[in-house]
Structure 1
Amino acid sequence: MQKKADKLFNTFAFADATEVYTRLIDKDFNTDYATRQLADTYAFMRNPDSAVVYYQKAVEQANVPIEYYYNYAQALRGVKDYKGYRQWMREYKDKGGIINEAQLASDKDFLKSVVNAKQSYFLTDVKFNSEFSDFGAVEHNGNIYFTSARDKGALTKHVYGWNKEPFLDIYVTEKGTNDSLINHKSKLKGDINSVFHDGPITITKDGKTIYFSRNDFNKNVLGKNTEGITNLKIYRATLTDGKWKNLEELSFNDSSYSTGHPALNSDETKLYFASDRPGGFGGSDIYYVNINADGSIGEPTNAGEIVNTNKNEKFPFVNNEDVLFFSSDGHQGLGLMDTFATVYSKDKTITNVANLGVPVNSSKDDFSFFLNEDGLSGYFASNREGGVGSMIFMHSIKHLN
């Protein structure tokens, strides 16, 4: 049974792996190992509420690897136990782990400043959220495009072993519609949606070109790296007679690493994206490429060490003033993954990043931030309490006196 559990874990079938590791614990078979694996499984599923239970048991084991002190601390932060987080980060340091001491020392003051800051963002739950994961909402020409795992109406259902949800597809709905029952009939028309993960997207102002993430799947061929893992790639398509056609894989993709979450800058001369390609600062970094006048793509440039950390930076977005927003679990935040904005000097050099604070950020994952052209409203997604999987929120900015 342990071999079965480990195989499920190693193939990212985490939802099934939790069941088998739980049975191993119930049977008192290699309990310490199964407990550590179950804690890691819940962490990969972005479920700190369950992960913290098993990490607590793991850190009580004799000779436990020190990374479990760190993982326990992160899970505690995900359930808003900030005091426990600081305690176990110090334990991790005492065992020989390397931490950002300045960030840990300032944690109390950071949390106090975020909680007491004047609220600028006000949230509304959108009507088209489903019982599955929804995120990546962008607005264009009166329509809202978003990514969702809600595929319940299609005849053939493909389930993602990571979380037992259907694979992601890209949907579109008219802004302001009262119809909350958006199903497979609202999928983007054309060749973009596949039987694997598709989305999120970014779309040009003229509405004729779309860039989107997709699993490494093109022309009915599923690509894999040397370990048998299928990564993300970015593709481009054009609108022809109301359907998205002429799919093109961008030149900087590679099957050996993931490249996704595309975002255009204001004049559409640069495409930002996230990637765990070699040569970064660690985990997933934010990069950008130049888009030339003839449509050709330049070489990737890392957004730099002020933006990127040794953890994960994802979901870039650039507003009309060319301010870069992104999500990170490496910068100082409220929990798992928070959303940040870059701060610029007069010469347009990035000098710092700013946490967007509550209510945009929470103790859970907060990501796929988007602002409309008016700069006053937009969308983001979060897996915070109150939803199933991730759900989309509409945010509006109000300047209070």
Structure 2
Amino acid sequence: MLTFGYAQQSKLKKAEENFNNHSYALAIKSYEELIAKGYESEVIYKNLGDANFNNANYAKAAEWYGKLFDLKSDDIGAEYYFRYAQSLKSIDDYKKSDAYMKKFQKIKVSDSRAQKFAENSDYLEQIRSKTKRFTLKKISVNSKNSEFAPSIYQGNLVFASARDTGLLVNNIHKWTNAAYLNLYQADSTNEEGTFKTPEVFSKQLNSKTHESSTAFSKEGSTVYFTRNNSKNGNFVEDEAGLSRLKIYRANLENGVWGNVTELPFNSNEYSTAHPSLSADEKTLYFASDMPPSFGASDIFKVTINEDGTFGTPENLGNTVNTEARETFPFMAASGDLYFSSDGHPGLGGLDVYTVSAKTGAVSNVGVPINSKQDDFSIILDEDKLNGYFASNRTGGMGDDDIYAFSFEKIETESEEFASKINGSIIDKVTGELIPFGKVSVYDYTNNNLFEINADIEGKFSSPIEFPSKKYRFVAEVDGYNDETVYLITPMGTVDEILEELNFIIAMEKGDKSSVIGADLVEILKLKTIFFNTNSSYLNANAYPELDKVVAYMKEFPNARVEVGSHSDSRDSDRYNLWLSDRRAKSTVSYIVSMGISEDRITATGYGETLLVNKCINDAPCSEAEHALNRRSEFIVFQN
């Protein structure tokens, strides 16, 4: 490592001055010139990494953070472990990224980003298993510059753009070395994905500083938008040299936007930005670093009173917000909140997440909406089938591009019908038919549906429903142990199913003290086994209940148990099957850790294949009804 001469000291000073003034594009140029001459230091690599990270040049940030860690300094700082981990994702090095997140986790145990990573260490599998059938389409409004923050106004697209204004002199933002953002409108055409040539949305709203992120009232006479803090067309900076963002409101009068006023909770000391209105227009959602904030920006909401005044902004809390960036909220008509974040486990850069209106659970929307780069400013139509978002992913026209997406609905023909199935009761050893046995039939909520008596030949007939229903048949015959058999009705025609099933209950002679086929949930009066939301990690309340299962298995050392985990229908079939399997295995893992041999207990995840009610995909059900489907069972299959 070379020492700095006078000329290099001067260049270093200039680079640091640009960096501290947030002129990141100029700082990058100066630092790279120094490195080209053989100079390196912890400060240079930190600042060069940060300058690229703050400009979403994640691959370059990964390069310089990597050199920073190569110096093997004793006190690099925890945040650099996180930023390096994030940047590595942009070059598809998820293995190394996870390794640095684990190091970050050890240093910052209480950090919510570390905790969320620990709870979702298999986040990549989760995200990929939740991939939706979206079709993406590049739209014609994009340029070689940055376009983002789409919204719909009177059926046309309004968005922010740093495109060339056509003037002899363009104002250049030294942070990015790009032109300032203005609001544009592109009228739609009849052809999907194409728009007429974009035009300036409003000369009254655009200024010499940045404007972006519009939210329009339904009747179209009010708009909320983001603008830099400015006075007389000039930036107003805080003590750190930043021109903070503010939210403004404007009204349309006689076809002209005017009466531009800033919202009362704005400040010169923090930013408020990226407004989104609730469907009833009584709540405004936005991003801000106002106190109290968890990170660089958080999602807030504020009530809009009937007289147009505002309540007190509320932080949405640490379920949504982290110590990193949560930004660009969008409140869908369904009540689901969408936002972008780089603090929750994701594919890289900003990912789009949704907060379920029904459960409050936060989940990554998956690919292809999300990528290893920044994906943000999503909007959706009322049916959540079509929308727009912005991304700086590879393959676009410029820095950020707007993409249209639509959800491909899959039409299925699933007929549910009633029929009956014939069965017989036999002696397990001799194979002989056993006459006059009693068969009790239960559904999967353990409701006793009916009882059937076998005839003199040991045969019986039971009504059942197709497809994908689960039943429990309990046979009782004097001199034999009670025998339980489970039946899952498969897909197919009635003839195919009945031919396939060949339903027989084989019974073993003995006393009736055996509990084979019984569910320990009933026997031990177990409470619900809870898991953290969208996680396979057991909730602390689950352990006392599982200890009862452990005690039972120690009391009956020959007993073997199947742990069956079930989910509700929300989320994709594939994801629910995967998650329930993980939860069953997590449950088994705990029981084994308490001294039960692993050959005595098995795990099966059923996903949403055996719902106990009519709460199938998108069915209007209460939370209590969905909760009935989220259950664990402990079935004794040998004793």
TM-score class, shorter-chain normalisation, is over 0.9
Match 1:217 to one of 230, 234, 237: 230
Q: Counterpart amino acid of 1:76?
A: L
- Establish whether residue 265 from structure 1 lines up as the match of residue 278 from structure 2: yes
Q: Counterpart amino acid of 1:227?
A: A
Q: How many residues align?
A: 394
Map of 1:31-50 to 2, 5 A cutoff? 31-50=41-60
Equivalence for 1:192: 205
Q: Counterpart amino acid of 1:70?
A: F
Match 1:252 to one of 262, 265, 273: 265
Equivalence for 1:369: 378
Contact 2:131 2:366 in 1 (8 A): no
Residue 30 of structure 1 and its aligned partner are, at CA, apart by 4.5
Q: Counterpart amino acid of 2:86?
A: Q
- Establish whether residue 353 from structure 1 lines up as the match of residue 362 from structure 2: yes
Instruction: State the secondary structure of the residue aligned to 1:268.
Output: coil
Equivalence for 2:493: none
Partners of 1:34 and 1:102 lie apart in 2 by 31
Q: Counterpart amino acid of 1:295?
A: G
Normalised by the length of structure 1, the TM-score is 0.92
Match 1:65 to one of 66, 71, 76: 76
Map of 1:1-400 to 2, 5 A cutoff? 1-63=11-73, 65-67=76-78, 68-93=80-105, 96-98=107-109, 100=113, 103-105=116-118, 107=120, 109-176=122-189, 182=197, 186-220=199-233, 222-345=235-358, 351-387=360-396, 388-400=398-410
Question: Comparing 201-210 with 114-123, which one deviates more in the overlay?
Answer: 114-123
Partners of 2:141 and 2:190 lie apart in 1 by 9
Residue 280 of structure 1 and its aligned partner are, at CA, apart by 1.6
In structure 2, the CA distance between the partners of 1:12 and 1:127, relative to structure 1 (3 Å rule), is same
Contact 1:237 1:245 in 2 (8 A): yes
Partners of 1:375 and 1:71 lie apart in 2 by 33
Instruction: State the secondary structure of the residue aligned to 2:170.
Output: coil
Partners of 1:13 and 1:101 lie apart in 2 by 31
Contact 1:213 1:261 in 2 (8 A): yes
Q: Counterpart amino acid of 1:65?
A: I
Question: Comparing 265-274 with 168-177, which one deviates more in the overlay?
Answer: 168-177
Instruction: State the secondary structure of the residue aligned to 2:122.
Output: helix
In structure 2, the CA distance between the partners of 1:23 and 1:148, relative to structure 1 (3 Å rule), is same
In structure 2, the CA distance between the partners of 1:23 and 1:101, relative to structure 1 (3 Å rule), is closer
Partners of 1:257 and 1:101 lie apart in 2 by 26
Question: Comparing 235-244 with 113-122, which one deviates more in the overlay?
Answer: 113-122
In structure 2, the CA distance between the partners of 1:196 and 1:221, relative to structure 1 (3 Å rule), is closer
In structure 2, the CA distance between the partners of 1:34 and 1:210, relative to structure 1 (3 Å rule), is same
What per-residue deviation string (whole Å, max 9, x for no partner) do you get for residues 338-363 of structure 1? Answer: 11111233xxxx52111100000111
In structure 2, the CA distance between the partners of 1:23 and 1:31, relative to structure 1 (3 Å rule), is farther
In structure 2, the CA distance between the partners of 1:12 and 1:221, relative to structure 1 (3 Å rule), is closer
Partners of 1:39 and 1:241 lie apart in 2 by 50
Q: Counterpart amino acid of 2:29?
A: E
Q: Counterpart amino acid of 1:298?
A: G
Normalised by the length of structure 2, the TM-score is 0.59
Equivalence for 2:564: none
Partners of 1:162 and 1:8 lie apart in 2 by 9
Q: Counterpart amino acid of 1:2?
A: L
Partners of 1:316 and 1:92 lie apart in 2 by 27
In structure 2, the CA distance between the partners of 1:165 and 1:112, relative to structure 1 (3 Å rule), is same
What per-residue deviation string (whole Å, max 9, x for no partner) do you get for residues 187-225 of structure 1? Answer: 112411001100111001111010000001244453222
Partners of 1:92 and 1:267 lie apart in 2 by 42
The RMSD of aligned alpha carbons is 2.0
Equivalence for 2:602: none
Q: Counterpart amino acid of 2:77?
A: I
Partners of 2:91 and 2:178 lie apart in 1 by 24
In structure 2, the CA distance between the partners of 1:180 and 1:27, relative to structure 1 (3 Å rule), is farther
In structure 2, the CA distance between the partners of 1:102 and 1:256, relative to structure 1 (3 Å rule), is closer
Partners of 2:235 and 2:334 lie apart in 1 by 38
Partners of 2:325 and 2:161 lie apart in 1 by 22
Q: Counterpart amino acid of 1:83?
A: K
Instruction: State the secondary structure of the residue aligned to 1:16.
Output: helix
What per-residue deviation string (whole Å, max 9, x for no partner) do you get for residues 126-173 of structure 1? Answer: 111110110011122221101110033134410111111100000011
What per-residue deviation string (whole Å, max 9, x for no partner) do you get for residues 292-344 of structure 1? Answer: 11111221111122111221110011111222111111112111111111123
Contact 2:334 2:357 in 1 (8 A): no
Residue 372 of structure 1 and its aligned partner are, at CA, apart by 1.9
In structure 2, the CA distance between the partners of 1:373 and 1:141, relative to structure 1 (3 Å rule), is farther
In structure 2, the CA distance between the partners of 1:221 and 1:57, relative to structure 1 (3 Å rule), is closer
Return 5+ residue gaps in structure 1 as ranges.
Answer: none
Partners of 1:317 and 1:258 lie apart in 2 by 18
Contact 2:334 2:382 in 1 (8 A): no
Partners of 1:143 and 1:132 lie apart in 2 by 21
Contact 1:25 1:31 in 2 (8 A): no
In structure 2, the CA distance between the partners of 1:392 and 1:240, relative to structure 1 (3 Å rule), is same
Instruction: State the secondary structure of the residue aligned to 1:147.
Output: strand
